[in-house]
Amino acid sequence: MSMRGEGLPRLAMACWSHDWLLRRDMLGGEYSSLGRVLDELAARGYNALRVDAFPHLIGSRSDGVVLDRFQITSGRAPVDIQPRKYLLELATLAKARNIRLWLTSAFLQDSQSCRSFVRRPRDFVDVWSQTLSALEQQGLLDTVVAVDFCHEFTDPETTHGAFRSLFHAHPRSLMARLADWSKEAELAVEAYLQEVPRTLKALFPSVAFGVSATRQVELRLRKLDTSELDFIDSHLWLDDDPAISLLSATPLAHTGGRLGRGLQTRIAGLAWRARGTFWVRSIEQRIEGAAEFARIRRLQSVIGGGFVHLASEQQADWRWVKQVSESVLKASLAQGVSTIVTAHQARPQSPRLWADIDWHRDMTKLIIDHPPR
């Protein structure tokens, strides 16, 4: 049966992205014991977890050889990982705790440049089908509720291998990032939206397939044929609104050094307290637009990422961060959205928020216990 016919279950989701694997052996070792952090996740009321599955590193090579050791080179320092081994461990532990996995991938750069070979729709199908088959062979496919086949699709970094085919430009081209899509580009993007989920659904009918998108790209996707998608995952950042970005001094986070980052964090909190009512209305309008589009296209509307960028978590006023999350959750639930991430910082390496167990329980209960619209 098609997942679209069944619909997604009600999910209170945390997003650990690729940190669950890249930070496993780092100083502090927040994810060194997956069982422990999953116990903490369950204790906070979460029933779903969004993670990067590293699908481009899990399948076999063209010669049939399966590797399980890679070096990720996209961060400040190279990190050695074993994605296949630990994805299977994560799924096993999540299944034992009744936590569903929402898989995605930012296709991070590794020392063998594997992401460069994920170019065509059939390449996305290949890496994801091998990843899901690996889980299926271990009896773990039922832990996977959905696959976002490319994190923030068409972003030059996450769509690195396909970017040239889509836009006939280098992923680092600023003009290509800012330019409107040509008709040719729209048709090229549409081909991915159709072929990838259609083929994967035929192979794995119990899993929902879709894409996540930033605000700008989501508006562009609304012009295209989305009939093969089960969902669109809207990533909703407060400072996507230029007025909010200016008032919250977001540019300081990128240009001001350590002092500037601390100052920006404080300014943003003060600006929220002064203008929060107007900012909430901006958030509500964006959620209403996404939910209405989903209803018209018979898609599931998902809010799987976003809310507040913090330049300095150590100097953050977490009261306003929580208030933003609560506003997003309430507005989303009012529009019938049933799969929602509670906060970008709902993760072990954000200890000040992670330690507030009661807040997490309140938010997850709000999502899971909300009556159907």
Structure tokens given for 252:
């300081």
Q: What is the pLDDT of residue 255?
A: 63
Which of 324, 337, 327, 347 is CA-nearest to residue 367? 337
pLDDT at position 310 over 90: no
Which of 234, 246, 245, 238 is CA-nearest to residue 288? 234
Question: Which of helix, strand or coil describes residue 321?
Answer: helix
* Beta carbons of 177 and 156 less than 8 angstroms apart: yes
Least confident range of 37-41, 178-182, 201-205, 219-223: 178-182
pLDDT at position 61 over 80: no
Cβ atoms < 10 Å from Cβ of 146 = 26
Q: What is the pLDDT of residue 2?
A: 41
Q: Any idea what DSSP says for residue 143?
A: G
As a whole-number percent, the residues of the chain with pLDDT over 70 amount to 94
CA atoms within 13 A on the CB side of 314: 4
Taking domain 3-229, whether its CATH number is 3.20.20.70 is answered by no
Q: What is the mean pLDDT of residues 158-184?
A: 83
Q: What is the mean pLDDT of residues 102-130?
A: 94
How far apart are the C-alpha atoms of 206 and 145, rounded to whole Å?
8
Q: What is the mean pLDDT of residues 308-328?
A: 86
Please state, in angstroms and as integers, the Cα–Cα distance from residue 373 to each residue in 295, 299, 337, 368, following that order.
Answer: 12, 15, 9, 13
Q: What is the pLDDT of residue 5?
A: 43
* Beta carbons of 177 and 214 less than 8 angstroms apart: no
pLDDT tens-digit map of 79-111: 999 999 999 999 999 999 999 999 999 999 999
Q: What is the pLDDT of residue 368?
A: 96
Q: What is the pLDDT of residue 62?
A: 67
Least confident range of 41-50, 61-70, 364-373: 61-70
Residue 75: CB partners within 8 Å, gap ≥ 6?
22
pLDDT at position 1 over 50: no
Q: What radius of gyration, in Å, describes the C-alpha atoms of the chain?
A: 20
Beta strands 79-81 and 70-72: pairing type?
Answer: antiparallel
Greater model confidence, 264 or 146? 146
Least confident range of 27-36, 94-103, 120-129: 27-36
pLDDT tens-digit map of 223-252: 999 999 999 999 998 888 777 777 777 776
pLDDT at position 294 over 60: yes
Q: Where are the domains of the chain?
A: 3-229
As a whole-number percent, the residues of the chain with pLDDT over 90 amount to 66
How far apart are the C-alpha atoms of 287 and 339, rounded to whole Å?
13
